[in-house]
Amino acid sequence: MVKQAALEWDGEVLEKLPAWVLKVKLKDVGAEIRCKLSGKMKQKHISVIPGDWVKVEVNQYDMTQGRIIYRYNNYDPNQDNDWIVYEWNIDEWDID
C-alpha cells in the first residue's frame, strides 16, 4: 500500500494534555487540533512546552489530529519563515 502524502503546517502549542497529547493552533488555518509527538522526538527526548512553535503533519482524511514532527528553535510568527534548504552537490567535494 502506498503511503499517502500528509499536509504540513506550522503551529503554536497552546496546552499540554494527558498522555503526551498537545493542543496546537495552526498558523495558516487558525484551527486547533490535537497532536502527539512523533516517535523520533520521543526517542531523542525533545520536549515541547506550551508556547513553542512546531511543524505538524496532518492526515488529509482526519484533520482534527496530527503528529508533531519538528520543534523550531527561533521562530518568528510575523515573518514568512522559509527555512534555508541546503542542496548538497557531492561532485564539488574533495574526497580523496
For the chain, how many structural domains are there in total?
1
Residue 3 has pLDDT above 70, yes or no: no
- 89 lies in a domain? no
**Residue 58, domain CATH:** 2.40.50.140
- pLDDT at residue 90, rounded to an integer: 56
Residue 76 has pLDDT above 80, yes or no: no
Distance CA 76, CA 68 (A): 18
- 76 lies in a domain? no
Domain range for residue 41? 7-71
Q: Is the dihedral of CA 81, 62, 38, 11 positive or negative?
A: positive
Residue 93 has pLDDT above 60, yes or no: no
- 11 lies in a domain? yes
Going by pLDDT thresholds of 50, 70 and 90, the confidence category of residue 21 is very high
Render pLDDT for 45-71 as a digit per residue (tens, 0 to 9).
Answer: 999 999 999 999 998 888 899 999 999
E-strand ranges in the chain read 7-17, 21-26, 32-37, 53-58, 65-71
* Best CA proximity match to 72, nearest among 96, 89, 55: 55
Distance CA 5, CA 58 (A): 9
